[in-house]
Amino acid sequence: MKPQSHRGASGLLVLNKPQGITSRRALDEAQRWFPGVRLGHAGTLDPLATGVLVVCLGQATRFVEYVQRMPKSYKATFRLGAFSTTDDADGEIEPIANPRRPSAFEMDSALAGFIGEIEQVPPTFSAAHVEGRRAHKLARRGEQVELQPRRVRIDNIEVLRYQYPELEVIIDCGKGTYIRSIARDLGRRLGCGGYVGKLERLRIGPFRIEDAVPLTADAEDAQARVLPAWAALAEMPRVILNAEQARRLRLGQRLPWPGPVETSEREVLAVDELGRIVAIAGWSERTQVLAPHKVLVEEDG
């Protein structure tokens, strides 16, 4: 049965991206479930990687950046004894002559050095920018790519299995962390080489792999599993506006707001008395004013 038009749809869909395709291709595949609806995705997965890809529909595409900020969890298998030109199994594998075989103790000690806020250089073949251009596009043309380190946060690394040359781990991390860089840098520290053999994203914020929709699902199932748009903002502090305040904020006007708000200065979710999203607004303890940042004219989710 041909799916109905969902031009007014707004919300989130947790997609299980299969291996071997780009995130853009996965989004294009999902488009058939929602003809006429604008789609966007939060947090790109490499073709090798599988797992959670959060798709934003309609007005919820304006919330992509908030989903991207959420903490993430990955299950990865690192292959030791070699490096890769792409830092994963899709690149050219460069074996290490007579590589070391680190003990379990050495492995645990090396992994502990990655926990916390660290400086990390993205892979050469990545979506990171070099003077406004994507690094992977420059690398594929054979141009020299020099990426600067960036600060990322790694909350935990749990070893599930270590039997040389394979190491299986679960990594909890923040925005912008490259698992391929961890594999590469771990191999350098241990003197044995390393790259990602398998990678699955288990979670972005509250969106889990157990709840993800496969691309093989039919349109009716996919449409039934769309989450409300506010799910992208569930962890944001809220303020409740009366009808007049909601009207003014939707018009782009600033509102006096003496609080209370949880922190001294941050973004808050402004909702009306029916719980519908009005806007994402900035609030400052100093000025005690709500300033609209992203306004939703109508809330569908």
**Domains of the chain in sequence order:** 11-70+206-231 (3.30.2350.10), 72-204 (3.30.2350.10), 236-295 (2.30.130.10)
Active site residue 46: yes
82-84 and 93-95 as β-strands: parallel, antiparallel, unpaired?
Answer: antiparallel
- List 46, 88, 172, 272, catalytic entry: 46
Question: Which pLDDT does position 130 carry in this prediction?
Answer: 44
pLDDT by 10s per residue, the chain, length 301: 343 445 457 899 999 999 999 999 999 999 999 999 999 999 899 999 999 999 999 989 999 999 999 999 999 999 999 999 999 999 999 999 999 999 999 999 999 999 999 999 988 765 554 445 444 444 454 545 567 899 999 999 999 999 999 999 999 999 999 999 999 999 999 999 999 999 999 999 999 999 999 999 999 999 999 999 889 998 888 899 999 999 999 999 999 988 767 665 588 999 999 988 899 999 888 888 999 999 886 544 4
Q: Token pair for residue 213? A: 């929709």
Distance (Å, whole) CA 200 – CA 209? 9
State the pTM of this model: 0.87
Q: Token pair for residue 97? A: 């002559």
Q: How many Cα atoms within 13 Å fall on the side-chain side of residue 49?
A: 26
Question: Which pLDDT does position 81 carry in this prediction?
Answer: 97
Short-list 46, 53, 41, 47, CA closest to 16: 53
Distance (Å, whole) CA 171 – CA 74? 5
